Amino acid sequence: MPIHVLFPLALRAIWLNRNCCVFYNSSPDFSVKVRNVINFSLEWTLACDRDQSHCGNQTVLVSQVPPPVGLFKLNTDGSFDANLSMGLAGGLIRDSSGNWVLGFQRKDVVASSSTACWALKDCLQLALERNLLIGILAETDSLTLVHLLNQIVLSNHELCNIISDCMVLLDQLKAEVCHVDLSSIPNYLIQIVLDDARGRTMFIHPIVYGEYPKTMQEMLGHRLPQFTNKEVKMVKGSMVFVGVYQYTAYYIQKKRSADWSTGMDDPGNVTLPKGLHDTTRKNYYKAYITQLKRAIDDGANVEGYFAWSLLDNFEWRLGYTSRFGIVYVDYKTLKHYPKMSAYWFEQLLSKNKH
């Protein structure tokens, strides 16, 4: 099995479970992950077989470029979990042969804005302690950090002290920091996500258009079963209705730099009266139904729309900790309180009775 197929898929499995391992000290069942990686790799290899597919794209193994002969390269990175208010900084130093000279990590970073800074400072400090006084090339994927290091005045910046420390170390080591896009693996992950989407559309596309999606035809070539004219007439437009279960959306893209901002989800696990002001939920419904109305105006035969859910209730994975309803339920008294989204729905329906 080609390593250039195994490697990105294995890395993806590790990436998806990184927070459980790093922040929660939880060890997933990697035997299952390994089996999945092998199965996915076999499936991908078969799909991309040159004799069977018209797809000419080649998967390229991504690796960091080693420094020139006689020099050392520092690569650093940082990650922050806002829910735990804890960050992880780390890095490694490699020689011109690509061998690791040393590496490090720290878990005591308490601010998301400083993870990349601590990673760089610790790595520079290690290089100084190892007497690597010449030939240091430092790389980071944080464009913000590079901009801060190139500023002359930082007196009012929250990271003034640690940036100043990095500047001193860079001067002592006669080193420079440059921004690099350390990995193009997200492009590969995007391809995997798209392929997963094809797996879902392979069922709905034939009953609407009478053929498999073009992407499937391109990927599988003559291995894909062909519809006869009789089958096309039988399948195309045969559905009574099509239901789309829109539960969760995942987006993936290649970031230009490390995200230093803190964030939170919108679980709705709050007390009254704040719990009634579900602006995010209301805006979601408004945006979604607006686009649904556009589809209807374009001729789509839409029979209805169901919002999940009417009342706060028991969610199969999160229990009672997240409130998805447009009506707030006091679980102690069982009293019901309409949220902002419920009033928005009321207004929408009252103005559009027909």
Domain boundaries, the chain: 3-61+184-235, 72-179, 274-351
CATH fold for domain 72-179: Nucleotidyltransferase; domain 5 (3.30.420)
Distances (CA, A) of 228 to 203, 210, 234: 17, 10, 10
- Decide: residue 54, CB within 10 A, 0-12 exposed, 13-18 middle, 19+ buried: exposed
Considering the entire predicted model, what is its pTM?
A: 0.38
How many Å apart are CA 154 and CA 112, to the nearest integer? 19
Residues 109-136 pLDDT 10s: 666 667 888 888 888 888 888 888 767 8
The pLDDT tens digits of the residues spanning 310-332 come to 999 988 777 888 888 999 999 99
**What is the reported pLDDT for 43?**
57
**Of 19-23, 88-92, 172-176, 201-205, the least confident:** 19-23
Beta-carbon contacts of residue 98 (< 8 Å; ≥ 6 apart) = 66
171 or 26: whose pLDDT is higher? 171
Q: Cα–Cα distances in Å, from 27 out to 33, 36, 266?
A: 12, 17, 27
Measured at the CA of 216, the angle between CA 200 and CA 208, to 5 degrees, comes to 60
The candidate with the shortest Cα–Cα distance to 126, out of 91, 162, 79, is: 91
Burial pattern 86-96, b for ≥16 Cβ within 10 A else e, equals bbbbbbbbbbe
Comparison of pLDDT for 45 and 16, the residue scoring more: 16
Residue 244 vs residues 54, 205, 247, 302, 317: alpha-carbon distances, Å: 31, 13, 9, 11, 21
- Tokens 């089996």 sit at which residue? 35
